[in-house]
Structures are given as C-alpha cells and as structure tokens.
C-alpha cells in the first residue's frame, strides 16, 4: 500500500548499498590473491626533457588484470589496497620489480615509482628501497620516488626524518599531483624535493583558464629558485606543450609523447629515440 512505498524505497537503497559493499568485499578478497597469482604488471610512461626532447625518466604504473573482470584501474584498486594495508606488500613488489627493469635501461634514464602515503609510513620502506637497489644494481641516483601532499599532513617531524633518510640513500624525491591536495608553497621550502609534478588538471586548463596559467607560472618560478625541476603532467596537445615550455616547465609527461606501455614496447621506444633523439612527440 501507500504506507509501505517509502519503506520500499528505503529498502531498495539499502539493498543497493549492500550490493556495493559485497562487490567491494569481493574485490578486496581478489586483491589479496592478486600478488601470489601474478596478476600484476608494470607499465612505464616516459617523461621527456622539453628542451632536449629526450626521455629522461619513466614512471612505473601498476596494472591489475583480474581473472574474470579484466583490467582494473589503479584509481579503483589502490584505495582498496590502502584501506586494507595490502599496499605495503604490493608496493614492495612494485619497487623491486621496477628496479630490476630499470637496471636494463640506458644510464641516462631515471625510474620513477609511486609511493602511497600508507607505504611511506610503514617501518621498512628505507630497507626495501635499499635492498631493491642492491639486488637490481640500479644506481641510487637513478631512482626517484613520487609522493603526494597527503604524506605531509601528519607527523611532520617523522615525515621529514624519513624523507631525509631516503635522500641520504642518494635517491630523488618528487612531489606528485602538485596542486590537488593540501598544497602549501611553504612545503617546498621545508621538504627536500627534487621535482614538482604539476597535476594534469592545471595543464588541461591552460588554453582557456588564466588561473591555471598563473598557477603553473608561480610553481615553475618557485621551483626554479629552489633548484627543483618541474614536470607538466597530462600533456595531450602540442598547444599545451608550447605553453608549458613557455611557462618554464623543464619536463613533460603525457599522451602527446606516449601512454604508459609494456617493458617490451618501452625498449622499442628507446631504440627509436636513439635513431632520432630530437624528434618531439
Ligand atoms: P599518477 O602517479 O599521477 O600517474 C599518472 C597518471 O596519469 C597515470 O594513470 C597515467 O596513465 C595518466 N596519464 C599520463 N598522461 C596522461 C595524459 O596525457 N592524459 C590523461 N588523461 N592521463 C594521463 P594511471 O596509470 O591510471 O594511474 C593512476 C594513479 O594511480 C597514479 O597517478 C598513481 O597515483 C596511482 N598509481 C599507479 N601505479 C601505482 C603504484 O605502483 N603505486 C601506487 N602507490 N600508486 C600507483
Ligand atoms: Mg605518479
Ligand atoms: Mg601524478
Ligand atoms: Mg595522479
């Protein structure tokens, strides 16, 4: 009857919520098995020195091929891995595997690896990095870890100390997705970053939003005075490349040059680059 319809609607939402939670729980269980089952793979996306036009680094990007559901995006499974703490083990696999791969590259190419705030806080991060470098033979100065502003929120003293320990290994530290979090330009002075990666949302806005232009200009200016390099993320068009170059970004990363690709395809890209090192895009 009419009386029951409100309740029915409520139950409908409740059931939907239950279904969503069940789906998430199922994914979580599958994620627990993914590492052992060998369902993860790393892809690599080049970062290009804008002035010279050569690949200066490659970022390792994690891919999960689910046995039934196919490819699942990191934006979906990384948050689950973080909430469950699985990211620590997964992240360890990422560092180890990526270092082994990067040790095969030319000595001019740096490896960039994303580190989740949860993994950053774990006790053994410094040890894992040390072991991965030793086992692979990758020189420390060719490893760059990418962290986000989220790590700067808590325990500033401890965070500073750990960043210092990592720097002491000789590796580089990049601030990823700059501008999307709790950005404070003050962080740039406090923490020993080597690179600022300007989030793709600002690059998207460059052609028609004067605000984005002002922000990118401010960041490159400041980064320059702190001797940090700047990477423009998500560069998709020649127009955007021209603008970020004009605004003083030192590096670009984006579909204009290349999407993330398998280790094998990356090797082909390196070969092509060797033949004609100055061809842009
Ligand atoms: P991120 O670290 O900012 O990585 C860059 C993301 O932007 C990648 O998405 C890349 O494919 C995408 N991208 C690059 N160029 C373009 C472009 O021109 N246009 C557009 N639309 N997108 C572009 P992906 O691989 O889906 O990764 C998403 C996020 O997941 C990463 O953002 C990172 O935060 C996280 N992630 C990926 N792999 C790992 C990992 O191994 N460990 C951790 N902790 N996080 C990871
Ligand atoms: Mg990144
Ligand atoms: Mg990023
Ligand atoms: Mg991102």
Q: Which of 44, 46, 72, 74 to mutate to test the pocket of ligand 1 (most atoms within 8 A of CB)?
A: 74
Which residue has the CA at smallest separation from atom 22 of ligand 1? Answer: 234
**pLDDT by residue (tens digit) across 132-177?**
999 999 999 999 999 998 888 777 888 999 999 999 999 999 999 9
ipTM of the complex: 0.99
Q: How does the average pLDDT of the chain come out, rounded? A: 91
149 lines ligand 1 (CB under 6 A): no
For ligand 1, is residue 203 a contact (CB within 6 Å)? Answer: no
- Which residues have CB less than 5 Å away from ligand 3 (the ion)? 176-177, 233
Local confidence band at 277 (pLDDT 50, 70, 90 cut-offs): low
> Which range is least confidently modeled, 16-20, 168-172, 228-232?
16-20
Band of residue 281 on the pLDDT scale cut at 50, 70, 90: very low
In short, whether 179's Cβ falls inside 6 Å of ligand 1 is no
Query: Residue 244: its pLDDT value, please?
Result: 97
The per-residue pLDDT for 280 is: 47
pLDDT tens profile 167-225: 999 999 999 999 887 767 777 778 879 999 999 999 998 987 788 999 999 999 999 99
CA of 253 to the centre of ligand 2 (A): 10
Local structure of 40: helix, strand or coil: strand
46 lines ligand 1 (CB under 6 A): no
Q: pLDDT tens digits for 62-83? A: 999 999 999 999 999 999 999 9
Q: What angle do CA 81, 83, 87 make, to 5 degrees?
A: 35
Higher-confidence position of 100 and 156? 100
Q: Is the CB of 78 under 6 A from ligand 1?
A: yes
Contacting residues for 195 by C-beta, under 8 A, at least 6 apart: 144, 172, 173, 174, 175, 228, 229, 230, 231, 251
pTM of the entire predicted model: 0.93
Distance CA 252, CA 230 (A): 8
Percent helix, strand, coil in the chain (nearest 5)?
50, 20, 30
| pLDDT for res 3 | 53
For 106-126, what is the mean pLDDT? Answer: 96
pLDDT of residue 4: 55
Ligand 1 atom closest to Cα of 116? 44
How many Å apart are CA 200 and CA 253, to the nearest integer?
9
**Is 177 a pocket residue for ligand 1 (Cβ < 6 Å)?**
yes
């Amino acid at each position: 009857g009419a009386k029951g319809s409100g309740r029915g609607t409520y139950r409908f939402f409740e059931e939907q919520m239950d279904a969503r939670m069940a789906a998430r729980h199922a994914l979580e269980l599958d994620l627990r098995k993914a590492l052992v089952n060998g369902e993860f793979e790393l892809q690599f996306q080049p970062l290009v020195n804008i002035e010279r036009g050569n690949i200066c680094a490659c970022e390792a990007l994690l891919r999960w091929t689910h046995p039934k559901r196919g490819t699942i995006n990191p934006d979906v499974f990384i948050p689950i891995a973080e909430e469950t703490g699985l990211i620590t083990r997964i992240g360890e696999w990422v560092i180890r595997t990526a270092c082994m791969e990067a040790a095969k590259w030319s000595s001019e190419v740096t490896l960039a690896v994303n580190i989740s705030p949860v993994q950053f806080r774990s006790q053994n991060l410094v040890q894992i990095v040390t072991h991965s470098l030793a086992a692979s033979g990758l020189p420390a100065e060719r490893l760059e870890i990418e962290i986000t502003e989220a790590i700067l929120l808590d325990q500033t003293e401890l965070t500073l100390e750990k960043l210092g320990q990592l720097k002491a290994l000789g590796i580089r530290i990049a601030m990823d997705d700059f501008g999307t979090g709790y950005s404070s330009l003050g962080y740039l002075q406090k923490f020993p970053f080597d690179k600022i990666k300007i989030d793709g949302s600002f690059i998207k806005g460059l052609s028609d939003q004067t605000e984005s232009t002002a922000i990118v200009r401010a960041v490159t200016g400041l980064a320059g005075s702190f001797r940090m390099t700047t990477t423009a993320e998500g560069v998709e068009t020649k127009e955007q490349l021209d603008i970020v170059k004009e605004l003083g970004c030192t590096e670009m990363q984006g579909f204009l040059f290349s999407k993330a690709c398998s280790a094998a395809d990356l090797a082909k890209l390196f070969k092509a680059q060797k033949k004609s090192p100055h061809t842009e895009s």
